């Protein structure tokens, strides 16, 4: 008979905003290039349920073990012939789902290998490889694919710990720098709008020397770099890896607008056999605990969970299994993505391994809890600030007996008790949100500028509602600014601004709109909520408008929200 859990009280105050909103763009997904287009179509429901901002794929050109049916590049009668059908099929599917394709261009097709080389080895002159990437990028839109991100290669630094042999790239650091200096400008000329980055380091802890060499080369030669990317597997050492990357970028203020993408991450170290621990509910709780930590690290722009779909070949780390069934971790990701964005106060009287989020929006609130303690917990919730009726409260669970899809009614919204098993997750949902406002336009690109990446001050842009959120946390001097490039705008936009916390007398919230014929600035009164209709004729009219928002001089733990609607 299972022993009763240790008693814990969770205090939730829905009237009290707190730092670091529950961003819906920060946590995206990674898939191996092994996953075929038919599998994406089979698992369409998983994409619809979770709506990841992007899916990164190491596309695997030239790697025979990737089992591509069509060679991306082959030599026929001395002439290179390209066939991008397979990648385009996946890209078109992702576009249909509203997900940005994030292509990591790798590995090495046969025409570009030295004599005796394999899919890891590239000719000393990378021109042929770069020409294939250029050909793909130049024709993608014509073929019906809008690429969200371009990345130059995958894990070029990775070596077998036992033999020292190359795992994915046969060249060294100098070779990779030569590859990047050829590829990145070629991609930028072919697609001026989409972000470009690298180097997708496999091990920051072992290969830190790659970081300054790469960044200094980019600066010295004026190479395109919109994001710095790296990988890490396992919770316990990720903080060291992240701090190492952020410190290197902070030391180079010229790169303040370069994003940081941890574009392969899993809470568990690499060991993912079929039916392994990663398939159970404990990983769901571990992932949410990591989300909590990453939200408090605003200098990391994007985290791609590895993986979204099982790829096989000994790696079964997906949120969806090889046969298409959901795993508990998919339900946890769905829970998070369904939370309101604006965070509210949640205080735990109990062990630190019990974590949670509280969030609210007009007509709706939610509390998400996870138990990483080594024992079951009996959790009593004490909730204030909810005006709705008790019948609106619904409970969803993830544990050994629940997969997150079932729903139970709670008798009371403001006071409830539930048993949360070791590794368990619980979502309490209250009320229903109304229809969101129409966004001001379609987002083409979002840019952040980071004054100090290791500070707690934060900024987030929500594409679905064209909403800018900024906050000072404990570092008012370091609030990032946000710029969003919009298309499809009408003749005017409505700008609504609101604030939270005590901004202080010197606070300045600035909104700048720029179009083909000029720009205009709006400085909402930071002490009150305002709504303004802006005639876009002042900046040359729609449909393309660039909007920037910044917050200066505010007090600690102050918040500003700017929403644009059609």
> Quick one: 237 and 359 in the same domain?
no
Average pLDDT, stretch 379-383?
Answer: 95
Average pLDDT, stretch 232-247?
Answer: 97
What confidence category does residue 388 fall into, taking pLDDT thresholds of 50, 70 and 90?
low
Average pLDDT, stretch 224-238?
Answer: 97
Q: Domain end: 253, 269, 285, which one?
A: 269
Please report where in the chains the tokens 């959790």 appear, as a residue: 379
Alpha helices in 306-375 (DSSP H): 328-338
> Quick one: 93 and 147 in the same domain?
yes
Q: How far apart are CA 385 and CA 344, in angstroms?
A: 10
> Quick one: 90 and 175 in the same domain?
yes
Boundaries of domain holding 513:
442-565
Identify whether 375 is part of a domain: yes
Look at the chain and report how many structural domains it folds into: 3
CATH of the domain at 523: 2.60.120
End-to-end CA distance of the chain: 58
**Residue 324 pLDDT exceeds 90:** yes
Tokens of 258: 């370069």
Q: How far apart are CA 14 and CA 430, in angstroms?
A: 11
> Quick one: 115 and 256 in the same domain?
yes
Q: Which residues on adjacent β-strands are paired with residue 484?
A: 446, 547
Identify whether 192 is part of a domain: yes
In this structure, the number of other CB atoms found within 10 A of the CB of residue 387 comes to 10
In this structure, the number of other CB atoms found within 10 A of the CB of residue 225 comes to 23
Q: How far apart are CA 536 and CA 543, in angstroms?
A: 9
Give DSSP secondary structure letters for 472-538.
Answer: -TT-GGGPPEEEEEEES--SEEEEEEEEES---TT-EEEEEEEETTEEEEE---TTS-EEEEEEGGG
> Quick one: 259 and 141 in the same domain?
yes
Alpha helices in 116-275 (DSSP H): 127-140, 173-190, 210-221, 238-250
> Quick one: 426 and 469 in the same domain?
no
**Residue 394 pLDDT exceeds 80:** yes
> Quick one: 246 and 379 in the same domain?
no
Please report where in the chains the tokens 């050109």 appear, as a residue: 61
Identify whether 226 is part of a domain: yes
Q: How far apart are CA 208 and CA 245, in angstroms?
A: 8
> Quick one: 119 and 210 in the same domain?
yes
Q: How far apart are CA 45 and CA 563, in angstroms?
A: 30
> Quick one: 118 and 144 in the same domain?
yes
Q: Which helix (H) or strand (E) holds 282?
A: helix 282-295
What confidence category does residue 1 fall into, taking pLDDT thresholds of 50, 70 and 90?
very low
3-state secondary structure of 12: strand
**Residue 2 pLDDT exceeds 70:** no
Q: Domain end: 269, 293, 318, which one?
A: 269
3-state secondary structure of 506: coil
Closest among 156, 180, 184, 181 to 170, alpha carbons compared:
156
**Residue 391 pLDDT exceeds 80:** no
Contact between 368 and 427 (Cβ < 8 Å): yes
What is the model's pLDDT at position 157? 98
Q: How far apart are CA 470 and CA 462, in angstroms?
A: 11
> Quick one: 153 and 171 in the same domain?
yes
Contact between 148 and 91 (Cβ < 8 Å): no
Q: Domain end: 363, 398, 431, which one?
A: 431
Please report where in the chains the tokens 């790659």 appear, as a residue: 210
CATH of the domain at 383: 2.60.40.1180
pLDDT in tens, 487-540: 999 999 999 999 888 888 889 999 999 999 899 999 987 667 778 899 998 888
Provide the Cα torsion 393, 396, 397, 403; round to 10°: 170
Q: What is the CA radius of gyration of the chain?
A: 24
Q: How far apart are CA 83 and CA 79, in angstroms?
A: 13
Provide the Cα torsion 274, 292, 24, 146; round to 10°: -50
Calculate ∠ Cα 529-531-533, nearest 5°.
Answer: 165
Identify whether 45 is part of a domain: no
Q: How far apart are CA 75 and CA 415, in angstroms?
A: 69
Average pLDDT, stretch 414-441?
Answer: 92
Tokens of 4: 């009763």
Q: How far apart are CA 49 and CA 33, in angstroms?
A: 22
CATH of the domain at 181: 3.20.20.80
What is the model's pLDDT at position 29? 98
Q: How many helices (H) and strands (E) does the chain have?
A: 9, 30
Closest among 10, 4, 70, 62 to 36, alpha carbons compared:
70
Identify whether 299 is part of a domain: no
Average pLDDT, stretch 241-258?
Answer: 98
């Amino acid at each position: 008979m299972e022993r009763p859990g240790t008693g814990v009280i969770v205090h939730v105050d829905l009237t009290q905003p707190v730092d670091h909103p529950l961003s819906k763009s920060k946590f995206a997904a990674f898939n191996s290039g092994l996953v075929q287009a038919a599998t994406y179509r089979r698992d369409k429901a998983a994409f619809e349920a979770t709506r990841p901002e992007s899916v990164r794929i190491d596309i695997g050109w030239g790697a025979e073990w990737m089992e591509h049916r069509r060679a991306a590049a082959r030599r026929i009668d001395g002439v290179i012939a390209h066939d991008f059908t397979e990648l385009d099929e996946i890209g078109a599917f992702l576009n249909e789902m509203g997900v940005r394709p994030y292509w990591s261009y790798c590995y090495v097709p046969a025409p570009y290998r030295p004599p005796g080389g394999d899919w890891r080895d590239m000719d000393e002159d990378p021109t042929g490889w770069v020409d294939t990437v250029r050909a793909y990028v130049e024709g993608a839109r014509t073929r019906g694919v809008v690429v969200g991100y371009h990345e130059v290669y995958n894990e070029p630094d990775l070596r077998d710990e036992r033999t020292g042999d190359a795992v994915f790239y046969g060249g060294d650091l100098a070779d990779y720098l030569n590859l990047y200096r050829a590829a990145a400008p070629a991609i930028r000329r072919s697609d001026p709008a989409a972000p470009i980055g690298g180097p997708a380091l496999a091990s920051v802890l072992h290969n830190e020397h790659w970081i300054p060499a790469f960044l200094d080369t980019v600066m010295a030669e004026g190479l395109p770099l919109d994001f710095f990317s790296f990988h890490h597997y396992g919770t316990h050492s990720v903080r060291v890896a992240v701090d190492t990357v952020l410190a290197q970028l902070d030391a180079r203020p010229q790169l303040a607008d370069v994003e940081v993408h941890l574009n392969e991450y899993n809470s568990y170290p690499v060991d993912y056999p079929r039916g392994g621990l990663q398939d159970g509910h404990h990983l769901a709780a571990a992932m949410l605990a990591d989300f909590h930590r990453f939200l408090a690290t605003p200098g990391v722009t994007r985290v791609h969970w590895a993986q979204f779909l099982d790829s096989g070949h000994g790696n079964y780390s997906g949120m969806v299994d090889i046969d298409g069934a959901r795993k508990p971790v998919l339900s946890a990701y769905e829970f998070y993505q369904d939370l309101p964005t604006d965070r509210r106060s949640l205080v735990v009287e109990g062990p630190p391994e019990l974590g949670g989020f509280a969030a609210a929006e007009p007509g709706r609130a939610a509390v998400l809890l996870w138990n990483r303690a080594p024992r079951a917990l009996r959790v009593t919730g004490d909730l204030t600030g909810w005006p709705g009726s008790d019948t609106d409260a619904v409970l969803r669970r993830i544990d050994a007996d629940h997969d997150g899809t079932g729903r139970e009614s709670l008798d009371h919204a403001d006071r409830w008790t539930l048993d949360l098993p070791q590794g368990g997750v619980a979502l309490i949902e209250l009320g229903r949100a109304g229809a969101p406002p129409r966004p001001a336009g379609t987002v083409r690109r979002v840019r952040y500028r980071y004054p100090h990446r290791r500070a707690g001050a934060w900024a987030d842009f929500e594409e679905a509602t064209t909403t800018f959120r900024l906050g000072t946390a404990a570092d008012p001097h370091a609030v990032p600014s946000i710029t969003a490039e919009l298309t499809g705008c009408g003749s005017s936009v409505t700008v609504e601004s609101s604030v939270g916390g005590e901004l202080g007398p010197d606070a300045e919230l600035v909104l700048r709109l720029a179009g083909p014929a000029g720009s205009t600035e709006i400085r909402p009164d930071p002490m009150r909520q305002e709504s303004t209709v802006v005639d876009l004729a002042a900046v040359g009219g729609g449909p393309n408008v660039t909007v920037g928002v910044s917050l200066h001089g505010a007090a600690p733990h102050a918040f500003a929200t700017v929403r644009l609607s059609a």
